[in-house]
């Protein structure tokens, strides 16, 4: 056989439905994409400017060290450049981490319902993936600590968690870290951290200095650069040095590096995004409760509804699609009865609520 069993049997990552595919299927012209947790405001205008300025440089290979961007990140987060890594999305860095630290017998531990991209990356390497169920839709860190074995090499935590939007607290995290052996690496996926930083219970990983932790963040969400593919991470310089050996030398691209550097400077855009998302999130949560729907408390740029069954969730999903509203069914995440809805612009949120009111009444 050409490929190993684990590749033959691998279920690839399934992205949220695109506007183009819904248009092609339905002929609808007015479509609202609330399925992929993208920034409702688009990118910062300063990013467009930076891309235009850089476009004539794309015949050159990118700076393999991404020095300008890493320096800017180091300055912003008060660390050294040696503590920073950038890659093709935070998922690109995740892939490099898996390639760097895992041997064949190593095991990976995470929650059963979290970012599926990580599952695909570990399964693509044929590695053993152990999962612990969520408790009350949150990471159960005590149960995860109890599930650590001598073979556990990487623990993947996602905070706020995708797809639930919930967080684990400072206290829970600090207790957990006392139980993690030194030789086990903890990945803290904080793709949605910016939306949670105003919560004093949120354990901002950048406020800790833990030698066996890697923080992963992204320009895809609050910075509005999902299509550019650029993410960043922080860790002890020894860990970063190994990741840099394995990471593809020319990622991220010339344009992605320039776009991210410009995005990082435009903090007014970030503030505006946070304002729009928090306002939209409150509107969603209050409206869902008024309609009588069960919604999980969210610290991210999306909210998750819990229905009585997969059938009910899918019925609502299909109804919303007919109205041109794309949300995310959560079967692939192991939460069949859930639907995840990204916070959009005000008018998009209102459309979504009106459609939900209609189907719930019916």
Ligand X SMILES: Cc1ncc(COP(=O)(O)O)c(C=O)c1O
Residues that bind ligand X (CB under 6 A): 37, 89-91, 115, 117, 158, 162, 189, 191, 218, 220, 226, 231
Residue closer to ligand X, measured from CB, 162 or 215? 162
Residue closer to ligand X, measured from CB, 191 or 240? 191
CB of 4 to ligand X, least distance (A): 25
CB of 117 to ligand X, least distance (A): 6
Q: Find residue 340's DSSP bridge partners.
A: 304, 328
Q: What is the dihedral of CA 143, 217, 277, 285, to 10 degrees?
A: -10
- Give dist(CA 176, CA 267) in Å, integer: 33
Residue closer to ligand X, measured from CB, 158 or 352? 158
Neighbours of 222 (CB within 10 A): 23
User: Which residue has its beta carbon closest to ligand X?
Assistant: 89
Where does residue 42 rank: exposed (0-12), middle (13-18), buried (19+ CB within 10 A)? middle
CB 196 within 8 A of CB 300: yes
Residue closer to ligand X, measured from CB, 98 or 353? 98
Q: What is the dihedral of CA 94, 245, 130, 166, to 10 degrees?
A: -30
CB 70 within 8 A of CB 84: yes
- Give dist(CA 262, CA 224) in Å, integer: 12
CB of 120 to ligand X, least distance (A): 11
**Packing angle, helices 346-361 and 310-322, rounded to 10:** 120
CB of 144 to ligand X, least distance (A): 17
CB of 98 to ligand X, least distance (A): 13
DSSP 245-275: HHS-TTPSPHHHHHHHHHHHH-HHHHHHHHH
Tokens linked to 123: 């399964």
Residue closer to ligand X, measured from CB, 62 or 231? 231
CB of 342 to ligand X, least distance (A): 10
Residue closer to ligand X, measured from CB, 115 or 176? 115
């Amino acid at each position: 056989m050409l490929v190993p069993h684990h590749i033959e049997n691998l279920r690839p990552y399934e992205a949220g439905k695109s506007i183009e595919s819904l248009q092609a299927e339905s002929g609808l012209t007015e479509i609202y994409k609330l399925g992929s947790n993208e920034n409702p405001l688009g990118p910062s205008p300063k990013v467009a400017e930076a891309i235009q300025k850089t476009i004539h440089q794309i015949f050159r290979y990118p700076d393999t060290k991404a020095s300008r961007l890493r320096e800017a990140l180091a300055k912003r987060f008060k660390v050294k450049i040696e503590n920073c890594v950038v890659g093709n999305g935070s998922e690109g860095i995740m892939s490099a981490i898996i390639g760097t630290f895992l041997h064949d017998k190593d095991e990976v531990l995470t929650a059963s319902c979290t970012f599926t991209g990580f599952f695909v990356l570990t399964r693509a390497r044929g590695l053993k993936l152990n999962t612990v169920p969520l408790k009350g839709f949150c990471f159960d860190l005590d149960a995860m600590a109890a599930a650590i074995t001598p073979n556990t090499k990487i623990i993947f935590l996602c905070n706020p968690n995708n797809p639930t939007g919930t967080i684990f607290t400072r206290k829970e995290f600090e207790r957990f870290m006392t139980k993690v052996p030194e030789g086990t690496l903890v990945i803290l996926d904080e793709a949605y951290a910016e939306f949670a930083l105003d919560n004093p219970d949120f354990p901002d990983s950048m406020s800790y200095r833990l030698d066996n932790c890697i923080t992963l963040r992204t320009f895809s969400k609050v910075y509005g650069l999902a299509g550019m593919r650029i993410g960043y991470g922080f860790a002890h310089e020894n860990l970063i040095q190994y990741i840099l050996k394995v990471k593809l030398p020319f990622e991220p691209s010339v344009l992605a590096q320039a776009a991210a550097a410009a995005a990082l400077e435009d903090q007014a855009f970030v503030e505006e995004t946070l304002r729009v998302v928090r306002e939209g999130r409150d509107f969603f949560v209050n409206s869902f409760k008024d309609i009588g729907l069960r919604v999980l408390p969210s610290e991210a740029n999306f909210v998750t509804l819990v229905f009585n069954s997969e059938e009910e969730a899918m019925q609502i999903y299909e109804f919303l699609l007919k109205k041109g509203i794309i949300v995310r069914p959560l079967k692939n995440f192991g939460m069949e009865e859930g639907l995840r809805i990204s916070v959009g612009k005000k008018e998009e949120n209102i459309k979504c609520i009106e459609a939900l009111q209609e189907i719930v009444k019916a």
